[in-house]
Every structure is written in structure tokens, then in C-alpha cells.
Amino acid sequence: MAFDRELLSNALPAYDIGEELGAGGMGVVVSGQHRQLDRRVAIKQLPVSDAADPEVRRRFTAEARVLASLDHPHVVPVYDFVERDDVCLLVMELLPGGTLRSSVAASDGFTAPHAVAVSLACLSGLSAAHRRGVLHRDVKPENMLFAASGVLKVADFGIAKVLGGPSTAITRLGQVIGTPAYIAPEQVRGGGLSPATDEYAVATMLYEMLASVLPFSLEGDDLALLFRHVYEKPIPLRDAAPDVPDPLAAVVMRALATEPSDRFATAESFGVALAEAGTEAWGPNWLAAEQVPIMDAGPIIGAAGHPTAPVRRAAPTVAVAPAGSVPATGDREYPPSYPPTRGHEEIAARTSTLGNEGIAASAPTRGNEPIAATPETTASPGTAAPTSPAVAPSARRRLITIAVVVAVILIVVLAIFVFPKLFHVYGSTGSLGRSRGWPVAPSVPAPRAWHA
């Protein structure tokens, strides 16, 4: 789908329209720059045929409002949207770090710990969206994008819903809404969707990163692949990748269960199980060694062996930009869950090789930044500010000792200087009252004896 520069310029008069960044079934993505804010953005235009459909435009407007309200460091923020008779546009953060697929290709494959760490960042963003009642419906490597800082962000939230509506994945004369390789069985059947639907897709991505193959054979066409998702069991992960630790393989296969009720209840619980499996397989410091930024994921980070901290606040602390990195315009920095140990230069070098593939996305969040691997230092909107930690027992003992020493010194001082003076005054006057000049009763002579 080619884009019409004049059409976009008329729809977004405040922006300079750049070059096409990518195109696909969900529309075309173009770069742009806000003139007054000097902010570079990615502009996604839905297919013209869909924009001409009043029902699609209605869904687009409803979804865009929800997406723009999402506020999470692992979700691509939506800055603006336009809906009118001839065009539907989403204006989003520009992410120059490339897609997850391009990152895997550039690295010649991820190690198992790194693949799990990246999946945890993805699950953190999905969990935040699910808590707001928003499902992604089309999780795949092309929709996982990296900021210049190396932070992974989930893109294209809700676009499958806008184009496909509440019907099955196969709509409009057989067009597949979603990606057959990662689509959940209930999505193919047209059943009720839930967080487990997105979990299935994340598990499929992780399976592919661990084994370099998908859990189902790709023989035949897309319809044959959809049939396998519904009626066949996935190839056991240990069969495809014998080196994957048993605890990790068990968690991935559970998330790939055909029935949603057999998967994890939430994306967060899936992430916790993955983190625990990683700790069991690689030790308590495995996540820190990977240096994958993970944010707003306290329970997940805690399960990986890191101490948790209060949730981030509505007004986040601005972090210092990584040295040597090229920040993407519009990025808002967030404090990482734990301080990264890998140098920023290495992150920048890795992300700089990814190119601009898939730089767009449609989705909402707050900012972008390191997805480190430990607790955040701020709190969620509406929550009380964290209280100061209790004094450690050793510190309390030191305070008591100091207090006792001070008390003893005061007693000694009193004994040396004050008490002797009091005794001297008393001895010289014979009475404390007389020494102060108080009146003393006169002596009364003894009474005479009466004689008869």
C-alpha cells in the first residue's frame, strides 16, 4: 500500500511528512516530524479500503482513545490520531532500534537467558494493557520494537481488533486478521479472547527464539497452519531444542496449551513462572547478567531473585540518557528496575545495527526507557508514597549504646560538680531553709514548773 504524501500533509498540518518506513496488511508507516515540538514520530495509516468503512472508523476512534490512555514504558505511546472520511492515522513514538526479528537476526540468535529476558519485558507491557482491559490480538516479533536506548516496546495494540472486529480471525473473504504462525486456537475458532490469547503468542515467540523453529510445522498454506493450532499439539520444546532446561520448557509448553484455561491466568503470572524457571536453571543472578531493561514488573523481577521496590509514580523521575546513545525524539526516560551492568555503549552498538525496519507501531504508553531487571523506584497513580524502611537492628543497638554512655557521663558530671556544692551549703548553714534566708522560728524558753 503506497502512501499519499499530500493526503497525510492535509490530515496532519502540524507535521512534516517523511519517507515510508514499512507497509503490510495493517497499513503503511511513514516517518514525520512535528514542526513546533521538533519531535520525530511514526505515522501509521490504515488501509484506505478500511478507512472508507464507517464501522472500521468507529472502532478506530474507540480503540485510539483507549490506546492513547495506556501508560507503560514497554508499550509504544500514541501521541495523536486522525479519523475522517478518507483517512485513519495514528501518530506514535518513532523507535529506530528495529524489531525483535531484526535484532535476533543481527545477533545470529539469542541465548536462552536473553530470549527469556526479552519475553519478560514483553509480558510486562502486555500485563499493563490487560489490566486496562486491552488485548493485543497480534503479538509477533515484528510488533516488538526497540527504542534507541535498547528498551523493548510492544506496538500495534488493538489494530487487529479495529480491522477484524469481534468476529473470527478469518474475515472479509478469507483474509486472516492476525498472524497464522502466532495466533491462538480460540482466535481461529472465533471464541472468547482473554489475556491467555496474548500469552499463547508470546510463548510461540519464545519457543521460536529458543529452538529456531516454530512449534507447528509450516508445511502447506496458512489455512493448514491455522488448522494445526486448533486441532494438533505443538512439538514439545525439548524435542526441538534438547538443551533448553526442563523447568523452562515446562512453562513454555503450558502457555502453548490448546485450551486457554490450561494456560496461566495472567501475563504477569506467566512472567513470574518464566523468571522462576530461569532462576532454577541459571542461578539467582541470571537476569542481571543479561542486561535487558525490564520496568514496572515487580513480581516478575522478584521471582528472578532481585528485591522488589515500590511501583512507579504517575510523575516519574527523569533518568540520565545513556552515554554514547542516540535518544529517539519523544522518548521519556524512566528509572530502570535495576542498574544495568552492561555498558550503554554496547547497547547502542547493538541497536545501531538493526536499521529502521518496522520503526512504526500503534500503541500507547508513557515513555520508553530501560527495561532493566529489578524494581522500579516510583509508585502507580493513586497509590500512597512509599514509607521509609525500618531502622536495621544493628543501627538500633548502636543508638541504645550511645544513649547509655551519654547518660552515664551526665551522672558522673552531676556527682563531681553539683552534689559536693549542695552538701557544702547545707553544712555551712545547718539548714537549707536558713541558707536561703527563710525566717526561722525564735527559740522558746522551756516552761517553768508549777508548784502547788
Average pLDDT over residues 6-35: 87
Residue 80: which of 4, 12, 158 has the closest Cα?
Answer: 12
- The highest-confidence range among 37-51, 66-80, 141-155, by mean pLDDT, is 141-155
Q: Is residue 362's pLDDT more than 70?
A: no
CA neighbours within 13 Å on the CB side: how many for 235?
A: 15
Q: Which tens digit of pLDDT belongs to each residue from 200-223? A: 999 999 999 999 999 999 888 888
pLDDT of residue 421: 63
Of 55 and 73, the structure prediction assigns the larger pLDDT to 73
Write out the three cell numbers for 321: 540518557
Q: Is residue 433's pLDDT more than 80?
A: no
Distance CA 159, CA 267 (A): 20
Average pLDDT over residues 408-419: 78
- The highest-confidence range among 128-132, 330-334, 386-390, by mean pLDDT, is 128-132
Q: Is residue 422's pLDDT more than 60?
A: no
Average pLDDT over residues 105-132: 94
Q: Are 377 and 309 in contact (CB under 8 A)?
A: yes
Distance CA 290, CA 275 (A): 13
pLDDT of residue 408: 85
Residue 147: which of 375, 322, 289, 374 has the closest Cα?
Answer: 322
Residue type at 216 in one-letter notation = F
Catalytic residue among 50, 71, 138, 331: 138
Of 333 and 227, the structure prediction assigns the larger pLDDT to 227
Q: Is residue 250's pLDDT more than 60?
A: yes
Is 138 assigned a catalytic role? yes
Q: Is residue 440's pLDDT more than 70?
A: no
pLDDT of residue 2: 67
Q: What is the pTM of this model?
A: 0.65
List the chain domain ranges.
96-352
Q: Is residue 173's pLDDT more than 70?
A: no
Give Cα 189 distance to the centre of its chain.
31
Which residues fall within 8 angstroms of residue 71, CB to CB, at 6 or more apart? 77, 128, 364, 365, 366
Pick the CATH number of 96-352 from 2.40.10.10, 3.40.50.2000, 1.10.510.10, 3.90.420.10: 1.10.510.10
Q: Are 91 and 78 in contact (CB under 8 A)?
A: yes
What are the helix (H) ranges across 291-387?
298-303, 344-352
Q: Are 147 and 95 in contact (CB under 8 A)?
A: yes
Of 227 and 375, the structure prediction assigns the larger pLDDT to 227
Query: For the ranges 13-27, 198-212, 359-373, 381-395, which has the lowest average pLDDT?
Result: 359-373
Q: Which contacts qualify for 115-118: CB closer than 8 Å, 24 or more apart?
A: 115/206, 115/209, 115/210, 116/206, 116/248, 116/274, 116/275, 116/277, 116/278, 117/278, 117/287, 117/290, 117/292, 117/294, 117/373, 118/144, 118/152, 118/209, 118/292
Write out the three cell numbers for 164: 477484524
At 438, the pLDDT band (50, 70, 90 cuts) reads: very low
Summary mean pLDDT of the chain:
75
